[in-house]
Amino acid sequence: MDSARADILAARHQLQTRGWIPRKAEGFRHLPPPDAAVWLGDETAQSAPGCEAHPLAGAGWTLHPIGHSPQGRVDARWLDASDALQRAELWAGLSAPLGAGIADNADDRAEGDAAPFSWAHRALCRHGLRLRIGGTPGAERGPREPVWLQLRHQPRRAVEAPMLVIEVLAGVHCVLVETHDRQSVACQQPVVQNLQAHIVLGDGATLQHLRIATPGAADHIAHHVHARLGRDAHYAQALVASGSSYHLQRNVIALQAEGAVARSAGLLLAADSALEHQVRLSHGAAGTTSTIEDLALASGSARAVVNAHTRIAPGAAQADVRQRLTGIPTGGQPKLVLRPHLEIHHDQVQAIHSATWGALSEEALFYARQRGLDERTARGLIVQGMASALLQRCFADDTLLDTLDIDALLRAAVARHLAPGQEAEHG
């Protein structure tokens, strides 16, 4: 038996012995994930009709430059996880998932609670992509232009476990647009997708990361992003996501060295669907800064959950932490849960969190209607303005927002959410 097959069998054994995520698990109790069998699928299943990726899309991923970004500094490797050597390369430098309940600290215990997703991924993963940004000779010297990239994933199978590893070398600035859009691809049948992404930022590296996830209504989606930041590294992630039958977006960000900065923003749009955004931030060094800011819109019978947790470890002096969660019911009787949480183990820090739930301001709607707008259009403009401000605070870069035409993206996303048939009167 080759090592790849042995690793797959070992992952399945972990699932069998440790079990799936309990329905009452604290981190998942508001939106329990479907059972393990859903994520494992059938090993013998063929590619779903209409779901085959474009021939140029290695491992389901297509990679393109944005504008005239220099591509010589991008090393991309599409890897076959069924091949022993390529599988080892794909997972090189990444730690194995922990087992639930066996860790020594709170961060590791939280990771252990989600470990069944990681074991299911290792059992099913067949393809992956590793990106190394800034890897040309002499790239570490002197100022450089940012690297602008667009990365798109298209489903290849009805049940799949894509893999993505991104390494941004020291001092490199990268802008990445990552898209998971089912509306523009041929694949129409429901998809089950358990994605694991690992991001490593070297000292002084910067990654501005826009993630767009618009699954089909019947899809089961679980995306896990793990990020490790070096000294003075900056990571800004903005997520625009819509709901589905089950949709989990989970970010685990570790600020491991002094001066690291992380900003997480989420625009969540759930209409008669399920959507959860989990963000876990860990401050492990002095002088680190983080913000978590989410805007969740829910309508109909939607279930939307924002679960934010920031931990300040002992010794993380002068850490600066902000959490701001906002939930807005836009129609019907949705279930909308906001859970800010701070875990502080050091005295010399600044930490603020807040959660606001409620309908749009009637005063703002009144003044918008005075411009001759109908109510739905007025609501859309107000929400779009809130979403635009959210992303501006995350990226703190108007040039980036203009280049990526963020306003058009937000306008379309909000319009879909407030479309006729998704809107009803609410109290």
Q: Which pLDDT does position 192 carry in this prediction?
A: 95
Q: Please give the DSSP secondary-structure letter assigned to residue 101.
A: T
Q: What is the pLDDT of residue 48?
A: 52
Q: What is the dihedral of CA 352, 353, 359, 361, to 10 degrees?
A: 0
pLDDT tens, N- to C-terminus, the chain (427 residues): 688 899 999 999 999 998 999 988 888 999 999 999 999 986 545 455 555 544 434 558 999 998 776 666 899 999 999 999 999 999 999 977 765 444 444 455 556 789 999 999 999 999 999 999 986 544 444 456 889 999 999 888 889 999 999 999 999 999 999 999 875 555 668 899 999 999 999 999 999 999 999 999 999 999 999 999 999 999 999 999 999 999 999 999 999 999 999 999 999 999 999 999 999 999 999 999 999 999 999 999 999 999 999 999 999 999 999 999 999 999 999 999 999 999 999 989 999 999 998 988 787 788 778 777 888 888 888 999 999 999 999 999 888 888 888 999 999 999 999 986 554 443 3
CA–CA gap between residue 31 and residue 248 (Å, rounded): 9
Q: Which two tokens stand for residue 131?
A: 């990106």
What is the model's pLDDT at position 367? Answer: 74
End-to-end C-alpha distance for the chain, whole angstroms: 62
Taking alpha carbons only, the member of 224, 225, 280, 223 closest to residue 255 is: 280
Residue 402 gets the label, from left (phi > 0), alpha (psi -120 to 50) or beta, of: alpha
Tokens representing 200?
């490593």
Using CA atoms, how far apart are residues 363 and 246, in angstroms rounded to an integer? 35
Identify the DSSP state of 190: -
Rounded to 5°, the CA angle 280-281-283 comes to 150
* Structural domain boundaries in the chain: 3-361
Bridge-based pairing of strands 335-344 and 74-80 is: unpaired
